[in-house]
Amino acid sequence: MPRKFWLLLAVGALTYEAEHRKLDLAALREESEAVGVTLGGLEAAEAFIVHAEGRRAALAEHLPYGAPDDWVAVGSRPLFDEYERKVREIGTRFDPNLDADDARLLRRQMEAICVAAAPPFPPDQTPAFTSDPDDDPIVFGALLAGADYLISDDKKHIVPHGDPREYEHEDRRLLAVTFDYLVSDLMPDIGWDEIDGGLLADALAGGRPPA
C-alpha cells in the first residue's frame, strides 16, 4: 500500500512539474516581450514540459477512476535525515542486503518525489509540539513546508494512540494521521486494488527528455 500511495505522489509531482514549468515559461515570455529581448533555450524548456506531461500521462493510464493526480509530497532536511537513519538502523529487517549506499539511494528517491521542502531552520530552535524533542523538527518542517497532512505511524509521539492530531504554528496548520487512517478515512473511494505499486520504479526512472 505505501508503494501505491507513493505512486500517486509521483504522478502528482509530474503534474506539478508540468504546470509550474508552463507558468515559468509564460512568465519569461511576458518579461522578454516587456523589455524587448529574444529568449534562448525555448525549445529545451518546452521539451521538459512535454516530457513531464508524457510521463504523467503514461502513469495516469494505470490509475483507477477517481484517483487524484494532484497530491504531492513535501519534505524537510530533518525528515530526510531521519528517514536515512531509520533505513540504516532497521532496514535489514526488511532486506538483509541493505547497506549504507542503499540508504542514501532510498533517501534520494524520497527527495525526488517531494516537490518542495521546508526552508532551513535550526533544529535546536524548534518549538515543542510532541513529547519527544527529536520528533519536533519533523512536525515543524511539515508546517513550514505548507503540508496539509503529516503521515506518520509514530503512535507514541506524533499521532498519540493513532488518533488524528492537529498541529499549528502561527498561521500554518496541519493534521497528523496514520497511514491506515489516510487510506481508510481520507481516501476511501480509491480503487487501491487496481493500482500497481511496481510502477513506482518507472516513475523514479523518468530521467531527462531525449536530446
Residue 124 has pLDDT above 90, yes or no: no
Residue 208 has pLDDT above 70, yes or no: no
The arithmetic mean of pLDDT across residues 113-125, rounded, is 89
Residue 179 has pLDDT above 70, yes or no: yes
Task: Give how far Cα 13 sits from Cα of 16, 17, 51, 69, 204, Å.
Answer: 5, 6, 13, 9, 11
Reported as a single tens digit per residue, the pLDDT across 7-39 is: 999 999 999 999 999 998 888 888 888 878 777
Residue type, 193: D
Residue 207: its pLDDT value, please? 64
Residue 210: its pLDDT value, please? 60
Residue 211: its pLDDT value, please? 56
Q: What is the pTM of this model?
A: 0.86
